[in-house]
Amino acid sequence: MPAPPRSFLTVTDTAIRWQVPALDIAGWAIDGEIALSTVLPTVETADKQIASGIVEIDGADVVALFRRDGASRKPALVRRFRRSKKTEWEWIARPVDGVAVNSADVIILRKEFETLKEETTLVAFSQTSLITVPSGVACDYCKETRQLYEEVAELSDKIKVEVHDFLLDREQVEKYKIARIPAMVLLDKDKKDLGVRFYGIPAGYEFASLVEGIRAAAGAPSPLKPATDSFELLSTGGQEQNRLRSP
């Protein structure tokens, strides 16, 4: 069975494109033939280490999400994970019950970025200083979001990351018209602003949208309509809200 020209990140969509049951993909993951991943929130491991971001998960822990009678509506609890380029599994101590994931949160990273043809730059706006944002409240998820973009960049030498402080780098903030943080702007190989904005921490379907945006910036066909020059994605507690701004 030939794989499609490109695979979507969610297991469900990949199963449709490959014309195989999602359960089979989970089974391949259990057999070690493919890696399943998720975007982990901040957790504490059994070794008292703090972890977050893109991690590999065991197919056996999420196989129930892809039963042949349809994806389970009950989340699976992930209690172990493996970091990039690591061989050992780490156990989650807190939350004590593990991390709940749905079928949309289970993604496939393997070989996704190997065919990128051109460089793309992720311009991340975060809070790197100790100064609080104007509202007087420290930026939630800025550290985790910045780490996530850096981990994505490690997947391919075609992906670059620039980090700017929202309060200190006002010239860049005004240049890209950034209104809040965390935020990210996509640039093409010529450092041209593609009009794509991501606000909040990408997770679940939002992460898939992030990957599609990166692939488009690196030479794949753009998912935007010709009449649209801007795409804004807001991450809102596990759901996404897309806003298209026409010229």
- Top-confidence residue, 18 or 11: 11
* Selection from 181, 182, 177 nearest residue 230 by Cα: 177
The predicted model gives 149-168 an average pLDDT of 86
Residues 6+ apart with CB under 8 A from 244: 224, 225, 228, 230, 231, 232
Is the pLDDT score of 234 beyond 90? no
Are β-strands 159-165 and 193-199 bridged in parallel, bridged antiparallel, or unpaired? unpaired
CA dist 84 and 93 (Å) reads 20
Q: Residue 236 pLDDT more than 90? A: no
pLDDT at 151: 77
Residue bearing tokens 């990140």: 9
pTM for the full predicted model: 0.56
Of 218, 200, 186, the residue nearest 121 (C-alpha): 186
Q: Which helix (H) or strand (E) holds 201?
A: none
CATH superfamily, region 120-245: Glutaredoxin (3.40.30.10)
Return the structure tokens found at 179. 């209104």
The better pLDDT of the pair 132, 150 is held by 150
pLDDT digits (tens, 9 = 90+) for 162-206: 999 998 999 999 999 998 899 999 999 999 998 988 998 876 556
Per-residue burial over 27-57, b = 16 or more CB atoms within 10 Å of its CB, e = otherwise: bebbeeebbbbbbbeebeeeeeeebbbbbbb
Please, which pLDDT band fits residue 31 given cuts at 50, 70 and 90?
confident
Q: Judging by DSSP bridges, how do beta strands 76-78 and 99-101 pair with one another? A: antiparallel
Q: What φ, ψ does residue 59 adopt, rounded to 5°?
A: -60, -30
Tokens matching residue 234:
């807001």
**Closest-CA residue to 207 (of 73, 10, 75):** 10
Has residue 58 got a pLDDT over 90? yes
Q: What is the CA radius of gyration of the chain?
A: 18
Average pLDDT over residues 39-54: 91
CB-based contacts of 160, cutoff 8 Å, min separation 6: 119, 120, 121, 122, 153
* pLDDT the model gives residue 6: 42
- Give residue 172's pLDDT: 95
Per-domain residue ranges of the chain: 11-105, 120-245
Task: Give the pLDDT of residue 224.
Answer: 38
pLDDT confidence bin for 94, thresholds 50/70/90: very high
pLDDT value at position 86? 84
26 pLDDT higher than 80: yes
Sign of the alpha-carbon dihedral angle for 125, 129, 132, 138: positive
Q: For residue 201, what pLDDT is reported?
A: 82
